[in-house]
Amino acid sequence: MLVGVLALQGDWREHKLLLEKLGAAVLPVRRSQELDQVDALVIPGGESTTMSNLAKSFGLFPALREFVKHKPTLGTCAGLIMLSDKVQGAAEGQEFVGGLDIESSRNAYGGQSYSFEADVEISGESERVALIRAPRILAVGKAEVIASLNGEPVAVRQGNLFGATFHPEITGGTKLHSLFLASIS
């Protein structure tokens, strides 16, 4: 089993370290040939406009959209935005991969002054996470809420697809990545 980490931009190395700590073999993915080799994919935190721009320039969107239909994918923060079917506050012409039946809103808490750490409930257990210029999940559609903060959804799952507004890769919490790896058979 080989897990890809989309390495166009962002904190993909932190995801790689966390996945390796949990025993997974990891391949950074920047090209569709690399995407073909992996069994699952993580889309990291970063700037969604930059990732979208690079994915478009290098013709990755068709392969990514096909990938998420069949294979497990996890997106954190910018990665969650990339996986959302509907996005509020998108930059002009910004494209997304989609796949998760949710509506998200970019930078919904505000700028960096409103970034914060908090304890969230993931599958009933508490974990400290960081929300950095984070998106909010406005509507969950067919997705199931797997983590919440004061009653508001901050992570969702829909079949093989996982998305979180926070960064376990920054705080080092392993719950979300463990759930994700368990879903890969």
Partner 1 sequence: MSDKSNATPLVKSGLAEMLKGGVIMDVVTAEQARIAEDAGAVAVMALERVPADIRAQGGVARMSDPDLIDQIIKTVSIPVMAKARIGHFVEAQILESLEVDYIDESEVLSPADYVNHIDKWGFKTPFVCGATNLGEALRRITEGASMIRSKGEAGTGDVSEATKHIRTILSEVRALAAKNDDELYVAAKELQAPYQLVKQVAHTGKLPVVLFVAGGVATPADAAMMMQLGADGVFVGSGIFKSGNPAARAAAIVKATTFYDDPKVIAEVSRGLGEAMVGINVNDLPAPHRLSERGW
| Residue numbers at the binding site for partner 1 (CB under 8 A) | 7-14, 30, 45-47, 49-50, 53-54, 57-58, 77-78, 89, 91-93, 106-107, 110-119, 130, 132-133, 150, 167, 170-171
Task: Establish whether 127 is a catalytic residue.
Answer: no
Main-chain dihedrals φ then ψ at residue 129, nearest 5 degrees: -135, 165
Of 14, 127, 169, 177, which is the active-site residue?
Answer: 169
* Least Cβ distance, residue 116 to partner 1 (angstroms): 5
Main-chain dihedrals φ then ψ at residue 111, nearest 5 degrees: -75, -165
* Least Cβ distance, residue 34 to partner 1 (angstroms): 12
- CA separation for the pair 48, 45 (Å, rounded): 8
- CA separation for the pair 145, 79 (Å, rounded): 17
Of 14, 77, 127, 177, which is the active-site residue?
Answer: 77
In the bound state with partner 1, the residue whose beta carbon lies nearer, of 119 and 144, is 119
In the bound state with partner 1, the residue whose beta carbon lies nearer, of 33 and 185, is 33
In the bound state with partner 1, the residue whose beta carbon lies nearer, of 4 and 72, is 4
Closest CA to 81 of 23, 179, 6: 6
Token pair recorded at residue 102: 């949710």
* Least Cβ distance, residue 18 to partner 1 (angstroms): 13
In the bound state with partner 1, the residue whose beta carbon lies nearer, of 36 and 144, is 36
- What b-and-e string marks burial along 46-83, b requiring 16 or more CB atoms within 10 Å of the CB? bbbbebbbebeeeebbebbeebbeebbbbbbbbbbbbb
Element (H, E) at 43: strand 40-43
* Least Cβ distance, residue 70 to partner 1 (angstroms): 26
- CA separation for the pair 157, 142 (Å, rounded): 9
Task: Establish whether 169 is a catalytic residue.
Answer: yes
Task: Establish whether 167 is a catalytic residue.
Answer: yes
Residues annotated as catalytic are: 77, 167, 169
